[in-house]
Amino acid sequence: MSTVEYVTRDLSVNYGKVAAVHGLSFEVPAGGALGIVGHNGAGKSSTLLALAGAVASEGTVRGHPCRSSARMDPGTRAGTARAGRPDEGISLALVPEREKVFGLLSVHENLLAVNAAPRPGMVGIDDVYGFFPRLAERRDTIAGNLSGGEQQMLAIGAALLQQPDILLADEPTLGLAVPVIEMVCERLAHIRRALGLTLIVALAETSWVSRLADRAFVLDCGERISGYIDASDGMREQLERYLSGESRDPSPAGAHPLRSVADPRSNGEAAHA
Amino acid sequence: MNVSLLVSILASASVYAALATAVVLVYRANRVLVFHLAELGVLASYLMVTLSGEAGWSLPASFLAALAVALAVSVLVHVLVDHWGRPFGHFVGTVLTIAVGGILMGLIGMIWSGRTVRMILAEGRTDVFGEPISTNTLVVMGLCCLATVAVHLVVNRSRLGISMRAVANSASLARHRGIQVSRVLLVVWLLSGALGTIAGIGMASLSAVAMEGAVIGVSAIVAAILGGLTSLGGAIIGSILLAFGEQMVIVYVDPRYSQVVPILVLFTILVIRPSGLSGRTESVVRV
Amino acid sequence: MRTVLSRPLSTAGPHPPAGEARPPSRGAAQGDRAGRRETGALARRLAIGLAAIAAVGLLPTQGLYWLALGNQSAIAAISAMGLTVLVGTAGLLSLGQAAFLAIGGFTAALLVIHMGFGFLGAMAAGGVVAGLAGALVAAATARTVGIYLAVGTLALQYVVEIVLSDVEVQLTSGMGFQMPVAQVLGVELTSEEDWWYFLCLMTFLVWFVLRAIVRGQPGRTWVCMKENATVAGSLGIPVRRARMAAFALSSLVAGAVGVVHGFYMGTVQITNYSLHLSIVYLTIAVLGRLGSIGGAIWAAAVITVLPQALNGFMRALGFDLIAFGAGLEDVVLGLILAMILLEAPRRLWARIRPGRPA
């Protein structure tokens, strides 16, 4: 596992003429957990996809330029995309928002399907069953017949099998009942501790951000509009203020130095440190 | 029903099953319906006949050569459909296989100019339940069944099969999970090419192969659709039903109308139950 | 088929946020550019029209060989125009165009020989019967989507070949139906030149009518249907009827062409209407850009002339290709179809001209 901070600078994702993400910069310390909060369509999924290497992006990650070509070509191993040069990799694994499991395969087959580069201290299928005993009970169930929470567990487990340094989770709590979300949050915390995993999680809803992340920022229309908001009692309120448009930082921490301070859209709020 | 008729049906069914399995395999992987497999089979059988006949090669050697050519063509089709054609979608991919089928037919016409070929794999007769059955028919049946079953086993019981089914389920998720989708698709095309070769040779042995032999492609697609197009087991069932229907028409009505059977079956399916016997209804649009 | 086709329904693009003022000069510049575009388009159309008229007038001076090629091109063009509307505008892939030609041709043959129908009457009847057949096919395949439909039309092609071949054997002992001379309003079409003028007129009429239909309500309905049939249905568009209309129209055209073809060739034989022909028409439609009615015309000319050109070219190089016969034509046709589908010309062009985005 890497001990280096994961730094992204000026990330941009364009689908044709549409800019889904623009000039995004942030950092995650190793072993930490970062939340990306924003409305639907704000660019959260695109950010995660870009980090995972599944879509073309511009900018730099850890000082190295991003993949600028949309190699959606079937030959790429997007799930274990390396940020920067192939030799010094950090591996990432994505838990997508939709289509997170192979619905036609059984639980065990879902785990077998993962193709991961061998590594010392590998997380194996048995480890995954150790993290999620419920999955072990349902080994031969067809994934499409699992409950929402079980599918989420399976998706996370499959991602773990890719030996990631960083786990990217897109809306892990979507559509789940509260007790199930509690369980997912608890499991994720446990796994993070056990594996020293870094987590970047995208959420549209603010209720669970403080449970999942150490700190978070807000994304709106592809741009970062807040500094880092630490997990604290007031986190939810602060996030809501940014989401509702009440607050907006003209130059949030970590933004591009060339960004104009006199942005006509700002309402004069001072940037968070 | 006597043994001989039953064997005829099973032999036809096994040829259809091999082709239909290939159709379903490719369709599940990338939603492309292959129209060139029959032509590929015809090409392979012409090649095998020429090599083993005029060139004097042994049967196994000429078979391997024909197989190699078919596999090479399959690689080309993979590149064409999955790489170059990828931005255009599976619909264009399907029409591309139609184009490939046309090219193959043209090549066959150019090289062999419309000769009809027949290839006997084995001489003599064997006793089956008291009746003497052409050994050739039994060999064909055996080969096609073997090929079909082998592919089914690979898909359902092997690690590779898991990758194939994963890609068929969701190629994007497969990509996220590190599966090399391109390689999996290549394997699918190779398997389909192999099945097409065996089916084509089977057909050349059972009846004869001429330029019009490509009609079997329609029968195979019909068998696949009958079985639901997404289910391998359904492909087998569809093949058996289709072969049964055809043989009945040949024996009790008129041999020339045997070709009408798959078409009537197709229309019936399309009108009544487009999703086939055991397929999912995902690709049927009700308007 | 997304990109081989013409424009998408909407021109999506990022819209400026509501409050932002648009630069004042843009409106005027846009209007100016639009005006210039219109005159440019008009000039282009005029040029094409004049060239077409010139071609019609000049071709007969080139001799029988070219006249014959021209006639064959025109026949193929009309059929391809019908097909391109079906496949391009309505998005219904059909591999059975030749089958509808056969239905039209055989209907006409029977009516002419046994009931004394004239040319125009036979054409109308052939078109109507084929159109009804098309509507029937559409009704039968109402619940299916693209791929299944293609298979269905392929099956139709085979069935028609089998059944009509039987009819031919029964009624003519396999010799085909001998057609009399075509008469159009008292004028007999006996020479290639006569046919040329008639076919040019017919091509123009069909072009005109099809364009009007495609630009009108039916055309718009078909475009919606092609984009997403389910959504169209939920918007109240009568998708079933639209499908039947599309099929009926294209097969009506095909039926009429079948009759014309029969009279032109002098005989109606099932071998003239094979799957190969269906694929040729599809290739023409694709080459001329699916949905483009005018495109089908020049594409038909290209595809018709191509085998001759190829033969001549190879003969000049010293190869005799006659031995390869139809096989080579199939190969070339298949390659053309594949290349057009993959937009090979456009990509190649973009590659050759550096500095322009592909």
Percent helix, percent strand, percent coil in chain C, to nearest 5: 75, 5, 20
For residues B86 and B174, which has the higher predicted lDDT (pLDDT)?
Answer: B174
Q: What mean pLDDT comes out for the span B39-52?
A: 88
Identity of residue C155: A
Residue type at A15 in one-letter notation: Y
Q: Spell out which residues of chain C touch residue B263, defining contact as CB-CB under 8 Å.
A: 155-156, 158-159
State the first-to-last Cα distance of chain A, in angstroms, to the nearest integer: 29
Q: Are the Cβ atoms of A113 and B82 closer than 8 angstroms?
A: no
| Whole-number Cα distances in Å, A228 to A33, A242, A260, A273 | 12, 12, 20, 8
Does residue B277 belong to any structural domain of this protein? Answer: no
Number of Cβ within 10 Å of residue C223's Cβ equals 21
Chains that touch A (3 or more CB pairs under 8 A): B, C
Q: Say what the pLDDT of residue A59 is.
A: 78
- Output the six-digit token pair for B104: 């193959």
Q: Could you give the dihedral angle defined by the CA atoms of residues B277, B278, B283 and B287, in that order, rounded to the nearest 10 degrees?
A: 50
pLDDT mean over A181-195: 91
Q: Strand, helix or coil at A55?
A: coil
Number of H helices, E strands in chain A: 8, 11
- Report which of residues C70 and C21 the model is more confident about: C70
- What is the DSSP-derived secondary structure letter of residue C86? I
State the pLDDT confidence band at C334, using cuts at 50, 70 and 90: confident
pLDDT band at A263 (very low <50, low <70, confident <90, very high): very low
Indicate the residue type of B97: T
B222-258 burial by CB neighbour count: b if 16+ within 10 A, else e? Answer: bbbbbbbbbbbebbbbbbbbbbbbbbebbeeeeeeeb
Best mutation target, B86, B177, B179, to test chain A (most A CBs within 10 A): B177
- Tens of pLDDT, residue by residue over C227-266, are 777 777 788 878 888 888 999 999 999 999 999 999 998 8
Structure tokens at C37: 């575009």
Give contacts of B102 with chain C, Cβ < 8 Å.
276, 279, 330-331, 333-334, 337
Domain with A188 in it: what CATH number?
3.40.50.300
pLDDT: which is higher, C320 or B19: B19
Per-residue model confidence as pLDDT tens digits over A118-146 = 667 788 888 899 999 999 999 999 999 99
pLDDT value at B245 more than 80: yes
- Residues in Cβ contact with B174 at an 8 Å cutoff, skipping those fewer than 6 apart: A102, A113, B163, B166, B167, B181, B184
Q: For residue C58, what pLDDT band results from cuts at 50, 70 and 90? A: confident
Q: Which residue of C has its CA nearest to A20?
A: C14
Is residue A166 a part of any domain in this protein? yes
pLDDT of amino acid C325: 67
> CB B106 to CB C233 under 8 A?
no
Question: What's the confidence (pLDDT) of residue B136?
Answer: 85
Residue C144 has its nearest CB partner, among B35, B100, B270, at B270
Distance CA C35, CA C37 (A): 5
Q: φ, ψ for residue A18 (rounded to 5)?
A: -90, 125
Extract the tokens encoding B26.
């490719």
Which position has the token pair 């700002």?
A266
- Does residue A210 sit within a domain? yes
Answer whether C178's CB lies under 8 Å from C122's CB. Answer: no
pLDDT-derived band at B212 (thresholds 50, 70, 90) equals low
Q: How far apart are CA C122 and CA C273, in angstroms?
A: 18
- How do the domains of chain C map onto residue ranges? 41-272
Q: Distance (Å, rounded) from C-alpha B259 to C-alpha A257?
A: 73
Residues 6+ apart with CB under 8 A from B208: B116, B117, B118
Identify which of C146, C154, C286 has the shortest CB distance to residue B91.
C146
Of the partner residues B88, B266, B267, the one whose CB lies closest to the CB of residue C341: B88
Q: Tally helices (H) and strands (E) across chain C.
A: 13, 4
The predicted model scores a pTM of: 0.81
Considering only CB atoms, which residues of chain B are within 8 Å of chain A? 82-83, 86, 159, 162-163, 165-166, 168-185
* Residue C100 and residue C254 in contact, taking contact as beta carbons nearer than 8 Å: yes
- Closest by CA to A6, choosing from A37, A24, A41, A32, is A32
* Contact at CB, C338 and B222, closer than 8 angstroms: no
Q: What are phi and psi of A221, to 5 degrees?
A: 50, 40
pLDDT at C26 over 80: no
First to last CA, chain B: 44
- Tell me, what's the pLDDT at B277? 56
Range with the poorest average pLDDT among A93-97, B181-185, C106-110, C229-233: C229-233
Radius of gyration of chain C (CA): 22
Residue B213 has pLDDT above 60, yes or no: no
User: A95: nearest CA in chain B?
Assistant: B176
**How far C164 CA sits from the closest chain B CA (Å)?**
12
State the pLDDT at residue C149: 78
* Mean pLDDT of the C321-348 span: 78
Higher pLDDT, B257 or C103: C103
Interface test with C, best of B90, B95, B105, B107 (most C CBs within 10 A): B95
Sorting pLDDT into bands at 50, 70 and 90, what band is A251?
low
Q: Where are the beta strands (DSSP E) in C143-260?
A: 177-178, 182-184, 187-189
Determine the pLDDT at residue B209.
Answer: 55
Instruction: Give residue A82's pLDDT.
Output: 38
Within-domain flag for B287: no
Q: Which domain holds residue A72?
A: 6-244
For residue A235 the two structure tokens come to: 């986190």
B:54-93 residues touching chain C, CB 8 A cutoff = 80, 84-85, 87-89, 91-92
- Please write the tens of the pLDDT for every residue from B102-125: 899 888 888 887 677 777 777 788
User: Looking at chain C, which residue has its C-alpha nearest residue B273?
Assistant: C143
Nearest 5°: CA angle at C292, between C291 and C294? 150
Distance between CA atoms of residues B237 and B241, nearest Å = 6
Note the pLDDT of residue B64. 93
DSSP state of B82: I
Tokens representing B274 are: 């487009």
Query: For position C17, what pLDDT does the model report?
Result: 39
* Structure confidence by residue, pLDDT tens digits, C112-138: 888 888 888 899 999 999 999 999 888
CB contact under 8 A, A102 and B166: yes
**What pLDDT does residue B31 have?**
85
Q: What is the pLDDT of residues C270-322, one digit of tens each?
A: 888 888 899 899 999 988 888 888 889 999 999 988 877 777 777 777 766 66
Res C180: pLDDT: 82
Mean pLDDT over C36-62 rounds to 80
> Within a 10 A sphere around the Cβ of C220, how many other Cβ atoms?
15
DSSP 8-state secondary structure symbol assigned to residue B86: G
Neighbouring subunits of B (3+ Cβ pairs under 8 A): A, C
Any domain includes A252? no
Average pLDDT, chain B: 83
Given a contact cutoff of 8 angstroms between Cβ atoms, the answer to whether C63 and C264 are in contact is no
What's the pLDDT tens digit per position in B187-198?
A: 999 999 999 999
First-last CA distance in chain C:
19
Closest Cα in chain C, distance from residue A224 (Å): 17
- Amino acid identity of C280? V
A contacts of B162 (beta carbons < 8 Å): 105, 109, 112-113
Regarding predicted confidence, which is higher, C291 or A190?
A190
Q: Which of the residue ranges A221-225, B200-204, C27-31, C218-222 would you say has the lowest mean pLDDT?
A: C27-31
Query: What total of structural domains would you count in chain A?
Result: 1
For residue A169, the model assigns a pLDDT of 94
Residue B21 lies in a domain: yes
Find which of B270, B272, B275 to mutate to test the C interface (most C CBs within 10 Å of its CB): B270
The whole-number pLDDT of residue C85 equals 93
C-alpha C289/C-alpha B241 separation (Å) is: 41
CA C303, distance to chain mean position in Å, is: 12
B107 to chain C, closest Cα gap in Å: 6
- Is there a contact between B286 and C330 if contact means CB atoms under 8 Å apart? no
Q: Does C8 touch chain B (CB under 8 A)?
A: no
Q: Taking a contact as any Cβ pair under 8 Å apart, which residues of chain B between 2 and 31 contact chain C? A: 31
- Do residues B178 and A92 lie in contact, with contact meaning Cβ atoms separated by under 8 Å? no
What is the model's pLDDT at position B284?
40
Q: Which of residues 255-284 of B touch C (CB under 8 A)?
A: 256-257, 259-260, 262-263, 266-267, 270-271, 274, 283-284
Q: Residue C208 burial (CB < 10 Å; 0-12/13-18/19+)?
A: exposed
- Do residue B96 and residue C342 have CB atoms under 8 angstroms apart? yes
- Percent of chain C exceeding pLDDT 90 equals 23
Q: Which stretches of chain B are assigned E, i.e. beta strand?
A: 125-128, 131-134
Q: How confident is the model at residue C30 (pLDDT cuts 50, 70, 90)?
A: low
Please provide the size of chain C in residues. 358
Nearest-CA distance B174 → chain A (Å): 8
Instruction: Give me C99's structure tokens.
Output: 């089958």
Give the lowest-confidence range in C31-35, C65-69, C172-176. C31-35
Q: What is the DSSP string of A114-176?
A: ------TT---HHHHHHH-HHHHHTTTSBGGGS-HHHHHHHHHHHHHTT--SEEEEESTTTT-
* β-pair type (A215-220, A33-38): parallel
Question: How many domains is chain B partitioned into structurally?
Answer: 1
> Per mean pLDDT, which of A59-68, A131-140, B243-252 is the most reliable?
A131-140
A118 lies in some domain:
yes
Regarding predicted confidence, which is higher, C163 or A170? Answer: A170
Average pLDDT, chain A: 79
Interface membership of B37 toward C (CB under 8 Å): no
Q: Do B169 and A162 touch (CB under 8 A)?
A: no
Q: Over the stretch B88-97, which tens digit does the pLDDT of each residue have? A: 777 788 889 9
Q: Which amino acid is at A209?
A: V
Choose the weakest-confidence range: A30-39, B74-83, B109-118, C46-55: B109-118
Q: What is the tens place of the pLDDT at every residue in B7-17?
A: 888 998 999 99
- Which pLDDT score is estimated for A227? 86
Alpha-carbon span C198 to C185, nearest angstrom: 11
Question: How many CB atoms are located within 10 Å of the residue C311 CB?
Answer: 17
DSSP H helical ranges for A28-132: 44-52, 107-113, 125-131
pLDDT at A62 over 80: no
- Give a yes or no: residue A269 inside a domain: no
- pLDDT for the residue C34: 66
Domain of residue B247, CATH code: 1.10.3470.10
Buried b (16+ CB within 10 A) or exposed e, C250-260: bbbbbbbbbbb
How far does A16 lie from chain C, in Å, by closest CA? 9
Residue with the bigger pLDDT between A115 and A69: it is: A115
Task: State which amino acid sits at residue C119.
Answer: F
Give the distance from residue A4's alpha carbon to the nearest chain B alpha carbon, in angstroms: 24
* Chain B nearest C-alpha distance from C286 (Å): 10
Contacts of C282 (CB under 8 A, 6+ apart): B95, B98, C83, C87, C94, C95, C97, C337
At residue A38, the 3 state secondary structure works out as: strand
Of A15 and C79, more confident: C79
> A14 or A178: whose pLDDT is higher?
A178
